Structure 1
Amino acid sequence: MPFYVSPEQQMKDKADYARKGIARGRSVVVLQFADGILFVADNPSRALHKISEIYDRIAFAAVGKYNEFENLRLGGVRYADVNGYQYDRRDVTARGLANVYAQSLGTIFTETNKPYEVELVVAEVGEDADTDQIYRLTFDGSVADEHGYVAMGGQAEAVAQALKDRFVEGAPLAEALRTAVGALEAQDSDRRLEAKSLEVAVLDRHREHRLFKRLPAARIQELLDAGQGAQGV
């Protein structure tokens, strides 16, 4: 006799499977600061990035299985390049990219036996904080429009609670970085994250042309050690 599983149970099993895979990964934090959007990942690897540039004003952060979110990242870069070339660079937006990712993830979740074990943030920096866009996408294609901060992967609830307690709107870069690192450390009271264990990048609205910049370990350490006045990238 064939083994029957109801559609509801099948979807629940897929969702549980994906959530467990994502929770095994190290956390990523995305938050707004005075000059743009800051991305901070607990990631000691210098080669395998969780944070990447997608287009002029758009960046991507992910947790979960590297090969799966790398495929999505590459697809997003191709989408942005083609649309920017065929139409106008201003037509490439985080909202459009989030919709493409949502369709892909939703199709994979419903039509394949194994869902992607990934969670994504697509962010676009605007002319000011009110026009910044941050979209969070889950393994089933759900999209959430976030404001202020986002935490993904690992013990995301603990990280999000720490961000809620510490986040200050319009904070300078150094303060925002310390907030993000403190939230990541909240998962384990005995752990202290060093600059070399962090992957940090920014979308800085005051730069020209390409607004994405990855921060080297020396600059990360400088910001962590700095006083409240440190603001530059």
Structure 2
Amino acid sequence: MSTPFYVSPQQAMADRAEYARKGIARGRSVVVLQYTDGIVFVAENPSRALHKVSEIYDRIAFAAVGKYNEFENLRIGGVRYADLRGYTYDRDDVTARGLANVYAQTLGTIFSSVGEKPYEVELIVAEVGSAPEEDQIYRLPHDGSIVDEHGAVAVGGNSDQIGSYLDQRHRDDFSLAEALKLAVESLSRDTNGGDRQLTAEQLEVAVLDRTRPQQRKFKRILGRQLTRLLEADGSSLAKTDEPSDTEEEGE
């Protein structure tokens, strides 16, 4: 009888982490930035049906990169958790930190399990507060760890280069147009340092806008409104909170 091949636990975990990282890196990046009135999510995503950015609850949104079926299952689980907690207790008891802890437990359990492959996903959970200093952004890598972020964060694809570009240029007092312009500039940078031209049709954009009178702060930026923001010179634009053909109210 042959001796079973031995792999140390450290090597096995390292191999699983490398497998997950390679899968995540193949996806197109998502960037999340704070601006004066809230938090903006920008993804390179030409699909209008398969979203990388979604609403979870009143003030909470979710962004992900990696395998769509895996992060979609996590999104659905997050919506169910939020709805159940809000119904059982109070809507204010649903927080980004609580949701991030739930996701961390799920990802960590799957990553350490020898019976299934690790999830090839990286998540961002964000909550907009009544003031900029109350905003919360959490990044969750494949292993279930939680990273508390501030200002700007990038996941997926060439996230290291994009994140460095954002850190050097981001300011908390950006308008929405300025934050969106910086996000698109960062996503346009390829691995060789060159630039591509991203159009509105190639982007998925959403915001958590603290100034909205509605209880739900999530709003998609689509169509003509997105085009106007991309073409703006950074000056303030009039807000359009009424639903129209350029806006989708949650999911």
Please, what TM-score do these two structures have when normalized by structure 2? 0.91
Q: Is the 8 A contact 1:162 1:186 kept in 2?
A: no
For residues 15-34 of structure 1, the aligned pairs below 5 Å read 15-34=17-36
Distance 1:50 1:34 in 2: 23
For residues 127-142 of structure 1, the aligned pairs below 5 Å read 127-142=130-145
For residues 144-159 of structure 1, the aligned pairs below 5 Å read 144-159=147-162
Specify which of 223, 228, 232 is matched with residue 234 of structure 2: 228
Distance 1:144 1:68 in 2: 20
Larger deviation, residues 112-121 vs 35-44: 112-121
Aligned length: 233
Cα deviation, 1:175-218, whole Å, max 9, x if unaligned, reads 00000000111225241110000000000001121100011132
For residues 56-205 of structure 1, the aligned pairs below 5 Å read 56-111=58-113, 112-187=115-190, 189-205=194-210
Specify which of 20, 36, 39 is matched with residue 38 of structure 2: 36
CA RMSD of aligned residues (A): 1.0
Q: Is the 8 A contact 2:64 2:71 kept in 1?
A: yes
Deviation at 1:164, TM superposition (A): 1.4
Distance 2:218 2:98 in 1: 19
Distance 1:90 1:76 in 2: 16
Larger Rg: 2
Distance 1:92 1:228 in 2: 34
Please, what TM-score do these two structures have when normalized by structure 1? 0.98
Larger deviation, residues 54-63 vs 109-118: 109-118
5+ unaligned residues in a row in structure 2: which ranges? 241-251
Letter in 2 for 1:160: G
For residues 208-219 of structure 1, the aligned pairs below 5 Å read 208-219=214-225
Distance 2:141 2:223 in 1: 30
Partner-residue secondary structure (3-state), 1:200: strand
Letter in 2 for 1:125: V
5+ unaligned residues in a row in structure 1: which ranges? none
